[in-house]
Structure 1
Amino acid sequence: MKGSTLKDVAREADVSVASASRVMNGIGTVTEDVRARVLEAAERLRYVPHWGARSLVTSRTNTVGLLLPDIYGEFFSEIIRGVDIAARARDLHLLVSGSHGDLAEAAAVIESMSGRVDGLLVMSPVASAGDLPVTVPLVTIGGRPDGSERCAIGVDNFAGACTAVRHLAANGCRRLAHISGPAENLDAQERFRGFAATASEVDPGAELRVREGDFTEEGGHRAMAALLDRADRPDGVFVANDMMAAGAILAIKEAGLAVPEDVAVIGFDDIPLARFTSPPLSTLRVGVCELGKQALEMLVSAIEAGDASEVEGIVISPQLVVRESSKRGTNTN
């Protein structure tokens, strides 16, 4: 069955098509009487706006793009969930794609979204906003949150890593180790920097025990197994994200050791999975879903302002969440 058109709505409301268009698109001015008649007619006729035609009138697509380095795993799922919740509340559509950490692929995805979105949310841990071919308002997620970048939302990874290491030390760990993210990842670099700075305070002059991971459970498992093979086996491990921490806990158990009695573990992000590992995982809470919501709200502000430089950036300070994986005694600081 053919749906109603804007012309049908105008006829039903006894107004011009131009007046009906102004009401349905929210542009221009009409009297309250005309607005009420058009909306009532649209409801009676079950009129559904044609978004393609509407975008020609408003110069808006009512769609935003979200570009992530990957779409696998709970972290990215939570980011998408947060953005989607905020977008739906504003009647916005969402296009999601992954760049797989490749700058050329990210550029290609952004180009493919050109003309289809009003703005872009981009998490590109290997690039800054200036490296991307963007012609619409852009909000970057992650990267270097020094507080100076406009229209960006980031995490204080360095401070979070320092908190994690100090927590392990306060719980009696002295042979500290770190399972890092990929070397080229900006967030991973800051978490490593925080680990290195604080570990040297706990164990001055000691060699840094570090294994690089890839932010997956398998990567964490491999890295932890390698650390356990060392003569100076660590008794406390700061893992750069919760996914790898879950793999690390499994590797410790497979080696016949106990968490946290033999090796204490702390992760980063506080994804939903962290509460359900065995034992439950201590971590640094970022509020991933909320981060996605905040990023979308920031993008809407940039779109409405028409100038991303007018929107101030946000830096999130991770909060320590203590669970059983790091409790070696009574100190839980």
Structure 2
Amino acid sequence: MTVLDLSDPRPTLADVARAAGVSSATASRVLNGFPQVRAQTRRQVEQAVRTLGYVRQRAPRAGEGPRTGTVAVVLCEDGPRLFSDPFFGRIMWGVHQELTTAGVQVVVLMMQAADQATAFRYLAGGHVDGALFVSTHTRCTTALSRAELPLVSAGRPMVADPARYTYVDVDNRGGAAAAVRHLQAAGRRRITTVAGPKDMAPGRDRLAGYVAAIGGPGVVDPGSVAHGDFGQASGEHAMRRLLDRRPDLDAVFVASDVMALGVLRALRRAGRRVPDDVAVVGFDNAPISRTTDPPLTTVSQPVEALGARAAGELLAVIDGTAAQPHRVVLGTTLVVRESA
């Protein structure tokens, strides 16, 4: 897994953890004096602190007071997708492993489009030490910018100045470009895409990767692009639109595996064979990608690692050891199966 670390040069909690060969959560437990840490592990962390010259500077929290030992995971999605898309279960597992190891309790907040005020009041009420934003749409930007507490975004935040925030992302653009190049290498020439939402960074970045691999904005046929919302039904509807517009298409890059389920359904109903007539590549490497008919070629992103790393970065922000915004991009890999 490739990691591009665009951080401030001063050592952070994450640097100490890597040098000690432990998780950020474990390093945080040592530095915060938790007793349930093996002596050898404690020595490794303390040695890493000395070697790196790490200085622990606790940042004051808004409404300074005793720590709650609780952080909020803010899911910027409405209910249906939260309970149907395996992405959320996978990222929450990574968050859970990192934070519970550190003895930190997790509260999950749903910031739905119809009622963001309730979640914001909770964040502003001093109930948590920090917040981890997941699946940020543009509608979440107000809460993100107004939150006066340590926060980290799992994924590049949809704001004008994302460099202000600590975030952990995956190489969405590079992964999408690799998917399209795979289709091109297989001889596919009329490659379309079912892109993700326009108001989310993964939707925009995966579309940008497709465009770059095809040849650039001036080369891409607008009729070869249809958008979905990362849900299965939207994938099916988008594929129908593409078939209507470009009936001679021979490949489709789909910005999520869940949408790819809908794409496969639409192609099957249209009498198109996969991959004989149309090759299909998804994105996520979700468990469902191995059981589709045919098994789905897809871009694998390290979702659990994304959650764990973002949670570790949040611990560093809460602790005050991440003095500057910390930006990390995790690599992706192409998993080739029978659909392309």
TM-score (normalised: structure 1): 0.73
In structure 1, the residue matched to 2:300 is 285
- 1:137 pairs, out of 150, 159, 163, with 150
Unpaired runs of 5+ residues, structure 2, are: 1-31, 35-63
Cα shift readout 1:173-223 (whole Å, capped 9, x = no counterpart): 11110101122222211111221222237x957555011111100110111
Secondary structure at the counterpart of residue 272 of structure 2: coil
CA distance in 1, matches of 2:100, 2:126: 21
In structure 2, the residue matched to 1:233 is 248
In structure 1, the residue matched to 2:274 is 259
- 1:159 pairs, out of 174, 190, 210, with 174
Contact 1:107 1:132 (C-alpha < 8 Å) held by counterparts: no
Secondary structure at the counterpart of residue 117 of structure 1: coil
Contact 1:147 1:315 (C-alpha < 8 Å) held by counterparts: no
| Matched-pair identity in % | 36
Contact 1:155 1:286 (C-alpha < 8 Å) held by counterparts: yes
CA distance in 2, matches of 1:299, 1:257: 47
Contact 1:271 1:288 (C-alpha < 8 Å) held by counterparts: no
Cα shift readout 1:218-238 (whole Å, capped 9, x = no counterpart): 110111122222354311101
User: Cα RMSD between the aligned structures?
Assistant: 2.8
Cα shift readout 1:281-325 (whole Å, capped 9, x = no counterpart): 11111111111111111111111126x543522111221111111
Indicate how the Cα distance of structure 1 residues 130 and 314 shifts in structure 2: closer, same or farther if over 3 A, else same.
Answer: farther
Indicate how the Cα distance of structure 1 residues 199 and 232 shifts in structure 2: closer, same or farther if over 3 A, else same.
Answer: farther
In structure 1, the residue matched to 2:66 is 59
Kindly indicate whether residue 90 of structure 2 is the aligned counterpart of residue 78 of structure 1: yes
Indicate how the Cα distance of structure 1 residues 280 and 149 shifts in structure 2: closer, same or farther if over 3 A, else same.
Answer: farther
AA of the residue aligned to 1:110: F
In structure 2, the residue matched to 1:323 is 337
CA distance in 2, matches of 1:276, 1:97: 32
CA distance in 2, matches of 1:205, 1:225: 19
AA of the residue aligned to 2:73: L
Secondary structure at the counterpart of residue 126 of structure 2: coil
Matched residues, number:
270
Matches of residues 73-222 of structure 1 in structure 2 within 5 Å?
73-100=85-112, 102=113, 105-106=115-116, 108-113=118-123, 114-123=125-134, 124-126=136-138, 127-128=140-141, 131-143=144-156, 148=163, 150-200=165-215, 204=219, 206=221, 208-222=223-237
Contact 1:153 1:315 (C-alpha < 8 Å) held by counterparts: yes
In structure 2, the residue matched to 1:51 is none
**CA apart distance, 1:267:** 1.0
**CA apart distance, 1:261:** 1.0
CA distance in 2, matches of 1:298, 1:107: 26
Cα shift readout 1:1-34 (whole Å, capped 9, x = no counterpart): xxxxxxxxxxxxxxxxxxxxxxxx969xxxxxxx
Contact 2:260 2:282 (C-alpha < 8 Å) held by counterparts: yes
Contact 2:191 2:224 (C-alpha < 8 Å) held by counterparts: yes
Contact 2:193 2:252 (C-alpha < 8 Å) held by counterparts: yes
AA of the residue aligned to 1:310: Q
CA distance in 2, matches of 1:167, 1:256: 24
Contact 1:227 1:233 (C-alpha < 8 Å) held by counterparts: no
CA distance in 2, matches of 1:248, 1:67: 30
Contact 1:147 1:314 (C-alpha < 8 Å) held by counterparts: no
Secondary structure at the counterpart of residue 132 of structure 1: helix
CA distance in 1, matches of 2:314, 2:290: 31
CA distance in 2, matches of 1:286, 1:58: 39
AA of the residue aligned to 1:63: T
Secondary structure at the counterpart of residue 284 of structure 1: strand
TM-score (normalised: structure 2): 0.72
